[in-house]
Amino acid sequence: MSRNALRYAVLLGIQTTAAAFLFWVIFPIFLRVISSIGQQQGLDLEVQLEILIGVIVLQCCYWIRLRWVPIVAPFHNVFVGHLVLFASRVSFFFGGALFSAIFFRHVPELDALPSAAQAIARAAGVLAILFALFCYSLELERLGRAIE
């Protein structure tokens, strides 16, 4: 395995682990939000830190790979390429569902809106998660196209 192939595999593996970690941490929060539309949801500091670490790791690996490590397709196969492209789309379904549930269902039903500072911080957090998942889906898309 070439040096670039190894670097790429390691970075993609870390990105995949970070994305899976984010899904694992955020899914229970997502379930709470959709089962309690309109009710304020608090997050423990520990959970906030876990999400922040997951987003930072995912973003760091993504931008390092994009800037310095070329994509190395391990082989070429149209069918497998399509499966990876499909996985890239599926990986962002959850992000879209999270965004929709929060901004189109949950927030309009709130009895009292949080302060402007809290609203901005929460919106920035959700957007950071969405952007990290979007970047991961782009990474899978690029790999799928290289494999095709």
Q: What is the pLDDT of residues 120-146, one digit of tens each?
A: 998 899 999 999 999 999 999 999 999
For the segment 63-80, the average pLDDT, to the nearest whole number, is 97
110: helix, strand or coil? coil
Spatial contact of 98 and 23, defined as CB atoms under 8 Å apart: no
Which domain, by its residues, includes 80?
3-147
Tokens 């549930």: give the residue: 101
Helix or strand (DSSP H, E) at 15: helix 3-35
Kindly indicate the confidence band of residue 73, based on its pLDDT and cuts at 50, 70 and 90.
very high
Spatial contact of 86 and 20, defined as CB atoms under 8 Å apart: no
Q: Count of domains in the chain? A: 1
The model carries a pTM of 0.91
pLDDT above 90 for 80: yes
Token pair listed for 69: 């490590």
Q: What does the pLDDT read at residue 94?
A: 83
Quick one: which of 81, 77, 130 has its CA closest to 102?
130
Quick one: which of 87, 95, 85, 89 has its CA closest to 55?
95
Half-sphere exposure of 71 (CA within 13 A, CB side): 17
Q: How big, in percent rounded to 5, are the helix, strand and coil portions of the chain? A: 80, 0, 20
